[in-house]
Amino acid sequence: MLVLFLCCSVWIFWGEVAAESKLRGKISIQHVQKDDEFLRGKKLGHPLKLDPMSIKRIMWDLHFLGKFVVTSDTWGDPERVFDKKTIALTSDHFVKKLGAVKPGEIVHFSIHTKRGETSGDVFVLDHALNWRFSRIQGMDRLVDHQSVAQETGGEILVNWKLEPRKKQKYFYSENTLGFKTRYDYWITAPIREPKASGSGVGAPTGRQETLPSDGSTTKEKLKTLKEWKEENLISEEDYKKKVEQLLEQF
């Protein structure tokens, strides 16, 4: 009986570990919905070719602010949308889906972690990678269904809002009168254009970002790469490869 109990305990423990090492949720390709007023009829820059390191950096830079209390107007400290484990489990899936998605489609995701579900869409629009969230870490955006009509300080009462970092920006829409509306559940991150090869014949489609593209110096880029490696966002092999690329450019 003791042996059987130990075997069962080991099996349960191993099952929990295995479950933690696998993606819980779904990352899929979907057609742009007919009622999507922002993307319907828009020219999306798909497919997109990104290397795993680039998507990891972009995901690591995504931050949001949450309310301390639902009824409070005080925001807490910035938090990362995706933790390291989630990025490690999902980044390759995002790379594959973004490399296969067509112009009339987007990549939808619903990822489950210990803190709850994070869901939304990712796509290329206006030379930028767009992240549009509907839920973050188990929190719906709106406090309740009536909160749309409750405006405080000119802002709709919400549970959370994204916080742009570095070259990230909020998405804005403009009506026929020229008035702009900001959407703080939607972040855009610029993508570097690939270098043309020869006369352009056989040039790669999509856009690619292989190194930090924020105008920083070689020394700063090397420091950034080292931080990524220490945070386990990139492998030792990728780290060495990117360092060699930087040194060659230098």
Q: What is the pLDDT of residues 133-158, one digit of tens each?
A: 999 999 998 865 444 444 444 556 78
Among 175, 190, 205, the domain-final residue is 205
- Residue 155 inside a domain? The answer is yes
Where is pLDDT greater, at 197 or 133?
133
Say yes or no: 215 and 165 in one domain.
Answer: no
For residue 3, being part of any structural domain is answered with no
Do 178 and 215 belong together in one domain?
Answer: no
Question: What confidence score (pLDDT) does residue 131 get?
Answer: 98
Contacts of residue 152, defined as CB under 8 A and 6 or more positions apart, other chains included, come to 73
Q: Say which residue the tokens 């790469």 belong to.
A: 225
**What's the mean pLDDT when you consider all of the chain?**
78
Query: Are 196 and 237 within one domain?
Result: no
CA 208 to each of CA 1, 80, 144, 202, 205: distance values in angstroms, whole numbers, following the listed order: 58, 24, 40, 15, 9
Residues 53 and 141 in one domain: yes
pLDDT tens for each residue of 210-234: 444 444 567 777 777 787 777 777 7
2 located within any domain: no
Report phi then psi at 20, rounded to 5: -70, -20
Looking at the fold, whether 243 and 135 belong to one and the same domain comes out as no
- List, in sequence order, every residue forming a beta bridge with 26; answer none if it has no partner: 110
Based on the fold, state whether residues 189 and 234 are members of the same structural domain: no
Q: For residue 160, give the 3-state DSSP assignment.
A: strand
| 74 and 189 assigned to the same domain | yes
The domain in which residue 236 lies consists of 211-250
Nearest one of 45, 202, 240, 198 to 128, comparing CA atoms = 45
Residues 6+ away with beta carbon under 8 Å from 158: 67, 141, 142, 143, 147
Cα(208)–Cα(77) distance, rounded to whole angstroms? 32
> What digits encode the pLDDT tens for the residues 81-139?
999 999 999 999 999 999 999 999 999 999 998 899 999 999 999 989 999 999 999 99
Number of domains in the chain: 2
125 and 107 within one domain: yes
CA distance 209 to 92: 15
Let me know whether 200 and 215 are in one domain. Answer: no
Q: Tell me: do 195 and 217 sit in the same domain.
A: no
- Peptide linkage before 47 cis (omega within 30 of 0): yes
Do both 139 and 224 map to the same domain?
A: no
